């Protein structure tokens, strides 16, 4: 193992410009991948914060009295997605309206036009567009409920945005992974051809095929490992700089950072393996 590692390091040292270009490119690839993952993590955190405030408001007909409203609230509470139900009578609704729009609001009217309502909160796992929409539809079918409001438009846009970001992150991940494998494969193929004479001599004197190819595999993995580490470091430096101006940003967790480095190393090794297969040595 010491021989294999030494050979891989010496090969990288002999081709400094190629090694620097490869490592630099892999650093950019891993930085971009980490950047998309951080973007998705922060958007998911924002979306989760918004979902925590999602409520369904069921407006009641004027003929529904307090007792009937409480009975209706008990029925709604029994629904599986529902976490809590609060009854808001007409006077409370008017007080809230005046607090937001001023004491002069509705002064010209001789009666309170605002309906009583039930404010329904769902369990955290049900606060998706589909979960809220299905529950709102079921609540709207109860007698005495004249309208159900739950911010359908912006909630659907929020879920669509998150789906688009996840899809974009997946697409970028696949593209960057393919670029990493192809780059390392090209670099290792060039290195193999540059050392073809030494490889042939080792083969003629009886060197094992695994001993001949192992340094190339380790070299590719080292390219990936170095690029992965530098990419994560660069991403962390950018995060520290940006977080001074944007409070509340979330960095990718340590487990994901380690995962990026390991992924880069595995992709580097895969690129080496594919390159050696094309040369007929694997």
Mean of the per-residue pLDDT values for the chain? 81
**With contact defined as beta carbons under 8 Å apart, do 184 and 267 qualify?**
yes
CATH of the domain at 129: 3.30.70.3040
Highest mean pLDDT among 25-39, 61-75, 211-225, 237-251: 25-39
Answer yes or no: do 177 and 38 share one domain.
Answer: yes
Pick the last residue of a domain from 84, 116, 150.
150
Answer yes or no: do 22 and 71 share one domain.
Answer: no
Answer yes or no: do 178 and 145 share one domain.
Answer: no
Answer yes or no: do 108 and 173 share one domain.
Answer: no
Pick the last residue of a domain from 120, 150, 180.
150
Highest mean pLDDT among 90-99, 166-175, 197-206: 166-175
Q: Is residue 92's pLDDT more than 70?
A: yes
Pick the last residue of a domain from 150, 185, 216.
150
Q: Determine the average pLDDT of the residues in 246-273.
A: 87
Provide the edge-to-edge strand list for the sheet that holds 117-122.
82-88, 117-122, 56-60, 145-149
Highest mean pLDDT among 129-138, 203-212, 219-228: 219-228
Answer yes or no: do 62 and 168 share one domain.
Answer: no
Q: Determine the average pLDDT of the residues in 200-218.
A: 70
Domain count, the chain: 2
| Domain range for 78 | 55-150
Q: Determine the average pLDDT of the residues in 160-177.
A: 89
Interior/surface letters 182-218, b for 16+ CB within 10 angstroms, e for the rest: ebbbebbbebbeebeeebeeeeeeeeeeeebbbbbbb
Q: Phi, psi (5° rounding) for residue 164?
A: -65, -40
Answer yes or no: do 88 and 134 share one domain.
Answer: yes
Answer yes or no: do 167 and 41 share one domain.
Answer: yes
| pLDDT, position 206 | 61
Q: Determine the average pLDDT of the residues in 78-92.
A: 83
Answer yes or no: do 179 and 272 share one domain.
Answer: yes
Instruction: Identify the burial level of 30 via C-beta atoms within 10 angstroms of its C-beta, where 0-12 means exposed, 13-18 middle and 19 or more buried.
Output: buried
Q: What pTM value is reported for the model?
A: 0.69
Q: How far apart are the C-alpha atoms of 59 and 118, rounded to whole Å?
A: 7
């Amino acid at each position: 193992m010491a021989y294999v590692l030494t050979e891989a390091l010496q090969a990288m040292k002999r081709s400094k410009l190629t090694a620097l270009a490869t490592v630099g490119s892999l650093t950019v690839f891993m930085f971009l991948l980490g950047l998309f993952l951080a973007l998705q993590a922060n958007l998911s955190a924002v979306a989760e914060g918004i979902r925590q405030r999602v409520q369904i408001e069921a407006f009641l007909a004027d003929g529904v009295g307090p007792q009937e409203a409480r009975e209706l609230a008990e029925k709604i509470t029994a629904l599986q997605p529902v976490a809590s139900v609060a009854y808001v009578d007409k006077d409370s609704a008017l007080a809230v309206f005046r607090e937001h729009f001023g004491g002069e609001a509705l002064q010209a009217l001789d009666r309170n036009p605002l309906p009583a309502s039930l404010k329904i909160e769902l369990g955290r796992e049900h606060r998706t567009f589909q979960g809220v929409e299905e529950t709102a539809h079921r609540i709207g079918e109860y007698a005495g409920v004249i309208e159900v409001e739950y911010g359908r438009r912006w909630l659907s846009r929020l879920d669509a945005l998150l789906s688009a970001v996840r899809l974009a992150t997946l697409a970028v991940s696949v593209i960057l992974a393919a670029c990493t494998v192809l780059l390392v494969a090209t670099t290792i193929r060039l290195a193999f051809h540059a050392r073809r004479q030494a490889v042939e001599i080792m083969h003629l004197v009886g060197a094992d095929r695994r001993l001949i190819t192992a340094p190339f595999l380790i070299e590719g993995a080292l390219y990936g490992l170095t690029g992965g580490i530098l990419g994560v470091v660069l991403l962390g430096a950018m995060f520290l700089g940006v977080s001074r101006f944007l409070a509340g940003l979330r960095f990718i967790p340590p487990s994901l950072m380690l995962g990026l480095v390991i992924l880069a190393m595995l992709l580097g090794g895969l690129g080496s393996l594919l390159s050696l297969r094309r040369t007929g040595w694997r």
